[in-house]
Amino acid sequence: MSAGNELIASGDYIKHHLQNLTYGQFPDGHWGLAHTSAEAKSMGFMALNLDTLSVSFVLGAVFLLLFYRVGRKMVADTTPSNTQNFIESIIDFINENIRGSFNGKNPLVAPLALTVFIWILLMNTMDLVPVDWLPYLAQQIGAFFGADPHHVFFKIVPTTDPNATFGLAIGVFLLVLYYSIKVKGFDGFVAELTLHPFESKNLLLKVLLVPVNFFLEFVSLVAKPVSHSLRLFGNMYAGEMIFILIALLPFWIQWTLSLPWAIFHILIVLLQAFIFMTLVVVYMDMAHDKGH
């Protein structure tokens, strides 16, 4: 194989691993799976990335089932199992972080932080699965049903899909807006956007500063879900890209590079879940803060 053909093959390999299994409506009106990134783009905003949805749903179900079963078996007079001790340590860790970052009173914050942390951690952990295993399995399943394996895509890390990270961030953002208005009142929420950070006791100057304050506060408000989602997406996407590039190397080099990177990536997987969870708690605390 020539160097040019190797470059093309490598490019196709990378594109294949970065393409979602997308289902949607084509411009001519019929519905189906996209065979190329151009077809996926033509489906528009309402297309569904089936791999992201299926993997995140399965991981969410595993999380709920595990915690539900352990919770049902918790009895004060019995010796806790290793699994119960592990889950209780996670809950204590979440509660400790909430006590240090959240000053309001809201019973939703702790379950929200726990759910966000565990769910994102599970989704991030999929990045440690060898990049070819599940996509290859998806291709074999597609071939069994008569599909062209080359056109069967499967991205196994939901957090490398900006649709997933933006969905999580926007959900948190809506909660922040809801509690900001509920706790401070609509008038208080509007005042927070228009009377800060620049203040004046002069009524005329205060009115003149309203547009400036609103612009600054609105940009800051909208930037929260954008930065919240892109931070998680960018770090996980970069990590997955490195795994894909390592997979293009000769077999004997792959293990010498993939193992150290996987060990280091465990820190990234944990850190990104923790940062996302911490920002959720901080944003909820800001929503409950009536200091202004």
Q: pLDDT tens, 83-123?
A: 888 999 999 999 999 998 999 899 999 999 999 999 999 99
Which segments within the chain are labelled E, that is strand?
A: 22-25, 31-33, 48-49
- Residue 127: pLDDT above 60? yes
pLDDT tens for each residue of 31-53 = 999 998 899 999 998 899 999 99
Higher pLDDT, 292 or 110: 110
Residue 4 confidence class, pLDDT cut points 50, 70, 90: very low
Instruction: Look up residue 9 and give its amino acid.
Output: A
Per-residue pLDDT reduced to its tens digit, 232-258? 999 999 999 999 999 888 888 888 888
- Among candidates 217, 228, 163, 222, which has minimal Cα distance to 195? 217
pTM of the model: 0.91
pLDDT of 2 over the 50 cut: no
Q: In the predicted model, is pLDDT for residue 56 greater than 50?
A: yes
The set of catalytic residues is 227, 231, 235
Burial of 254 (0-12, 13-18, 19+ CB in 10 A): middle
Q: What is the pLDDT at residue 249?
A: 86
- 122 and 185 in contact (C-beta within 8 Å)? no
Q: What is the pLDDT of residues 130-164, one digit of tens each?
A: 888 899 899 889 888 888 888 889 999 999 999 99
pLDDT of 258-276, one tens digit each?
889 999 999 999 999 999 9
Handedness of CA 129, 132, 133, 137 (dihedral sign): positive
Sign of the CA dihedral 66, 72, 73, 74? positive
118, 98 contact by CB (below 8 A): no
Q: If 0-12 CB within 10 Å is exposed, 13-18 middle and 19+ buried, where does residue 27 land?
A: exposed
Which position has the higher pLDDT, 172 or 7?
A: 172
- Cα–Cα distance measured from residue 122 to residue 115, given in angstroms and rounded to the nearest whole number: 11
